[in-house]
Structure 1
């Protein structure tokens, strides 16, 4: 899912440099491939993260104080630490002559920040300037923190009005009606974690689905989303559901294959670190890539995959080095995930 998140963030059409904006010349076939990977297949990542987070939280009967204590350590502290590091990195990068081109961004010019800008850099949604924090991907953590703090309220409402609340949450998600505190998507899939726990739903029915059936259905709905944009709003939601079901079904294969499971288990220790570090590294790598590669045709597709995998590799290397050399620091940066 972390890999998918990086591909979502790597699907761009222009790159801002200190000297101006470079618009990529993207052929239709490259555009379709990028849309397929970043805007269809990879879009299951965030809903599944919220679903798993909600399910794991509701497995235990936590009090509000227990949730507050645990999530402050695992989410809030690394959130503030990484945001502070990003502000320092941008300030330094925008100040030094030889790095200005790679950190130039009119919306994030640290030297011109006022108090509201710094608040915006941390929380994003609660100001009028941007819905996202400075560390762009941390909107997920921000929503997750607020959802965790609302978990007990959700539980009480769902216990009293289970069907009505579910239909309302699905409706908000379909029409993209985002709530003030968190997005409709994050709320829906987070509370679905409680429904799974509440009604003791298992993966037996998902495991019983034939691969041919789900892959054929997925291929059809993907083609509709790719080539019939008039149906894109609703079919996109359907593809998220189908893709998530397929991912859960595939996870059984990963569990049963001992070698794959062992590799994924080892890599899982770096999931949060890769997630936290990949931006603005991903942005910098894109700016470097257009200095050494053409910005048209097949080169755009090569750059798309190359930059994402180089970013992942760098994050993993840094994470491995930190974890082995200064484990306490790594644990602190990862919210206790060692």
Structure 2
């Protein structure tokens, strides 16, 4: 099935914005710095938490888009399945192997240097102390749930979902809409045990279901005003649960409704923007969004540590300013690196982003020689 030009543009637009949201989300959720506590209990801290909660939309929407696109290209034959998995191995697993190896090497060098070692004084195990199980876990992240490059849990889980996709396709073919309802109930219950597994299964499967039966898309597209109103309402409710520790259950219970109504609202907004001819500059950045995802977290944590250790941050407003400035710098630097590689080393860029396989790239190079 071919996507319409507007749908294809909409997906590219969303990918770019969602990737930027993830950078800001990680600014608030990784590498905690003691000085950030200055914002706790202040209006500035609440603003950071509100933006962070809204950025929770990004990963679920990425999963839904991935499930939707994979389902559109999938055919129930062994040949097609093998072809799709081969492509996903290159696109998802290859970057994990390349970038994790690079990051481990860089962290080892930085931790071993007297001039930079003080930046790595956290609770994490030093690279020099790794045994073979730690090295293996750095790539797959079974012990803690996260690989060495923490953002790659998304790629790992996405690859697993692609592997088991025939089961998902068979399930929806047999059960249709009642099966989707069972999926909602099952993942809602599972979320209280392991939210990462539950959300991976639910949102990827949601995308797959929408590809197989787009009647739900037609249904919600006619009720966007109502759904947008619900999104505002559940954003408020979810935020109450997100900020109050004693009401954490409220956030968990309303999370799926908050996210799903957010999907529809975002989709309608993106469609409107593109239909009016806006958003072209965002689309120009879409090709680099995956590259930004692959490298952003390590650059973010480094700049965050340098900024907080080098600057005398002593107020909540300064924490808020850094919350906006550091991710913005990370995004700009990442795109500058991406466009530099695209211009001067496109073959390397294609390999490290999984666009081309390592061996196929070498083969093509030899043919040219």
Match of 1:287 among 297, 305, 323: 305
Task: Give the number of equivalent residue pairs.
Answer: 326
Residues 1:29 and 2:43 aligned together: yes
Residues 1:266 and 2:284 aligned together: yes
- Preserved CA contact (<8 Å) 2:25 2:56: yes
- Measured at CA, do residues 299 and 172 of structure 1 come closer, stay the same or move farther in structure 2, by a change above 3 Å? farther
- Preserved CA contact (<8 Å) 2:74 2:81: no
User: In the TM superposition, what are the counterparts of 1:41-60 in structure 2 within 5 Å?
Assistant: 41-60=54-73
User: In the TM superposition, what are the counterparts of 1:7-26 in structure 2 within 5 Å?
Assistant: 7-12=24-29, 15=32, 24-26=37-39
Cα offsets for 1:17-49 (capped at 9, x unmatched): xxxx6563114312221121112x111111111
- Preserved CA contact (<8 Å) 1:24 1:295: no
- In the superposition, the TM-score normalised over structure 2's length comes to 0.82
CA shift for structure 1 position 9:
0.9
- Preserved CA contact (<8 Å) 1:15 1:287: no
User: In the TM superposition, what are the counterparts of 1:148-163 in structure 2 within 5 Å?
Assistant: 148-163=162-177
CA shift for structure 1 position 206:
4.0
Aligned residue in 2 for 1:250: 269
Aligned residue in 1 for 2:183: 169
Aligned residue in 2 for 1:311: 330
User: Residue 98 of structure 1 aligns to a residue in which SS?
Assistant: coil
Aligned residue in 2 for 1:64: 81
CA shift for structure 1 position 105:
3.5
Cα offsets for 1:227-281 (capped at 9, x unmatched): 3543222123321111111111112023223341x22221011001000010111
- Preserved CA contact (<8 Å) 2:63 2:158: yes
CA shift for structure 1 position 69:
1.1
Is 30-39 or 85-94 further displaced after alignment? 30-39
Rounded Cα–Cα distance in structure 1 between residues aligned with 2:208 and 2:240 = 36
Rounded Cα–Cα distance in structure 2 between residues aligned with 1:67 and 1:108 = 37
Aligned residue in 2 for 1:325: 344
User: Residue 313 of structure 2 aligns to a residue in which SS?
Assistant: coil
- Preserved CA contact (<8 Å) 1:103 1:284: no
- Preserved CA contact (<8 Å) 1:214 1:246: yes
- In the superposition, the TM-score normalised over structure 1's length comes to 0.89
- Preserved CA contact (<8 Å) 1:293 1:299: no
- Preserved CA contact (<8 Å) 1:48 1:189: yes
Aligned residue in 2 for 1:189: 203
Residues 1:218 and 2:269 aligned together: no
Cα offsets for 1:151-172 (capped at 9, x unmatched): 1121112212334542343224
- Unaligned stretches of 5+ residues in structure 1: none
Rounded Cα–Cα distance in structure 1 between residues aligned with 2:150 and 2:335 = 20
User: Residue 161 of structure 1 aligns to a residue in which SS?
Assistant: helix
- Preserved CA contact (<8 Å) 2:36 2:319: no
Aligned residue in 2 for 1:133: 147
Rounded Cα–Cα distance in structure 1 between residues aligned with 2:344 and 2:115 = 30
- Preserved CA contact (<8 Å) 1:83 1:134: yes
Rounded Cα–Cα distance in structure 2 between residues aligned with 1:14 and 1:135 = 12
Q: Greater helix share, 1 or 2?
A: 2
- Preserved CA contact (<8 Å) 1:218 1:239: yes
Match of 1:76 among 75, 80, 93: 93
Rounded Cα–Cα distance in structure 2 between residues aligned with 1:221 and 1:247 = 15
- Preserved CA contact (<8 Å) 2:147 2:153: yes
Residues 1:297 and 2:316 aligned together: yes
Match of 1:93 among 94, 106, 110: 110
Match of 1:110 among 116, 124, 127: 127
Rounded Cα–Cα distance in structure 1 between residues aligned with 2:288 and 2:31 = 30
- Unaligned stretches of 5+ residues in structure 2: 1-17, 357-369
Cα offsets for 1:270-326 (capped at 9, x unmatched): 001000010111111111221224143111111111111111111111111111111
- Measured at CA, do residues 332 and 171 of structure 1 come closer, stay the same or move farther in structure 2, by a change above 3 Å? same
Is 148-157 or 160-169 further displaced after alignment? 160-169
Rounded Cα–Cα distance in structure 2 between residues aligned with 1:205 and 1:216 = 16
